[in-house]
A and B are shown apart, each in its own frame.
Chain A
């Protein structure tokens, strides 16, 4: 009786309470029973979906969605790994998916239940993190580049080197992320951003230490407010965020450095914590429906891997190589690979870079 009350469809607070109860009591979801009390727990990046899509999914399938957000792949992984919440769908990036597959952390998706998978462009299939397309369905993709303010930077931006230009001292925002910041530095030095070579990493460390005094701050999501408000000349950002910021402040522009960069895909997966993989598959398939994917694309402005959605985009956007670079434009760019074994080395470099500052 009590249980049924808790499981009824209701507001966010109830949903959170339910999640907490589930976590605490480790109750099997089936205990709730009943058609409209079925639940799917979704774990996604912050501000990375048109929330109205979730309500439409609930209406269409009668499955209640509990929606939670994370801010880095690493924190998502730590949370899922720690257990406690029975996440049914997560949307991590490529290298993290690889890691989770390698650690038996993901359930194979039954692609027969994802008929909309046909809409995904071929260049986002059979990638090295999931070579047989067994575990993941691409959600959005993008790159890392330099967002700059045209009123403060009047030279062409086409190289990572500009982030080391003393002219822009204290006008530069870097990502507070070990993998990304060390990665672009490796690219600048002409190395792979998946390097595990001690000398190359040492060189990248020295380069980052050299840059340290020029950096205004190492930031996360707050970079958006900062760049829109004109608080800095340049920032290393993800392509989709760049487009969003450019829509808010027309002085901003975005460039992909010629040395190449990181190309990434965020894809939907089903962690082994899932208690309702069928509902998870329904959710994943729903996200790939053309109309739904189009609404998400319209809301978050990242690059879509969905053929039909891409075709319907305005001409000037889909031909803009800053946001829809072709495979040739990305010849120098790389996906991140899972570097689990190197994490302590990267951590050490990052700590040393930041401990130098006095």
Chain B
């Protein structure tokens, strides 16, 4: 009973700020304004599947997937280093990973504009060293860089938290039984870290899929990603129906992907889901 009472504020919060808005999104996605009144219509949802919007979606998927993979390949080793016994400066490194997140996301992304531009900081250093200039600003590479940079901590931290909890005696046992470090990693450490890796993948993939600031600033607004398209519907075109339909489709897509990932893992415990 007391537990229920303690749940109250959280439930109310979720109801008002998550469930209710969700229903509003569904409502707008499934209705259209006809003669001043909103009535049921599948028009907005059908529009989502027009080739041009599918292309936008495909492009967003590709960039988000690449960013997530890169985050995984950079993030996993960092998490491993963090948990290794020989590593004494763990707290400092964790703080260093978390610290940038205290600064405004927009300001950090803006900083990359100055770093990457033609006569920017990085190119000044490169030309001083007589190295060829780097020109990746306003390309896919810059967008992926922005995503990896911004979302990397979301990959490292969940992996770190599960690796940290692995019973060290298991690793010692593997070593005693003659497993090489690689085999120990592959058969003992990695399988036990899957839950964290999965949380990391989901936590990076979702914001990467929906961000509109990074492609706008670092991609130079050269192409529309799904996040930009949704923003455009709400702030420029005022087509809340289509904007909601796009959001709904995106949510469904992420849910299905998440569910598939969970199934492939085979159990329901741990992680964020």
Contacts and interface: CB of A to CB of B under 8 A. Distances in A.
Contact of B52 (A74, A77, A346, A355): A355
B224 interface: yes
B239 A347 contact: yes
Interface of A: 72, 74-75, 77-78, 176, 178, 212, 215-220, 222, 225-226, 229-231, 343-344, 346-347, 350-352, 354-355, 357
Interface of B: 52-53, 55-56, 59, 110, 113-114, 117-119, 138, 216-217, 220-224, 229, 232-239
Contact of A215 (B222, B233, B236): B222
A79 to B, nearest CB: 9
Contacts of B220: 215-219
Contacts of A226: 117
A350 B239 CA distance: 15
B221 A218 contact: yes
Q: Which of B222, B233, B234 has the most CB of A within 10 A?
A: B222
A355 B224 contact: yes
A78 B216 CA distance: 20
Contacts, number: 72
Given A218-B220, A354-B222, A355-B224, 19 more contacts: A72-B235, A78-B234, A78-B238, A216-B138, A217-B138, A218-B221, A218-B222, A222-B110, A222-B113, A225-B113, A226-B117, A230-B119, A343-B238, A343-B239, A347-B236, A347-B239, A351-B224, A351-B229, A352-B52
A16 to B, nearest CB: 16
Contacts of B237: 343-344, 346-347
14 contacts: A77-B238, A178-B236, A215-B222, A222-B110, A229-B119, A231-B118, A343-B238, A344-B239, A347-B233, A347-B236, A347-B237, A347-B239, A351-B232, A354-B221
A167 B40 CA distance: 52
A215 B220 CA distance: 9
Contact of A357 (B216, B222, B233): B222
B221 A217 contact: yes
Task: List the 4 closest pairs (A to B, CB-CB), nearest first.
Answer: A217-B220, A218-B221, A176-B221, A347-B237
Nearest to A226: B117
Contacts of A230: 119
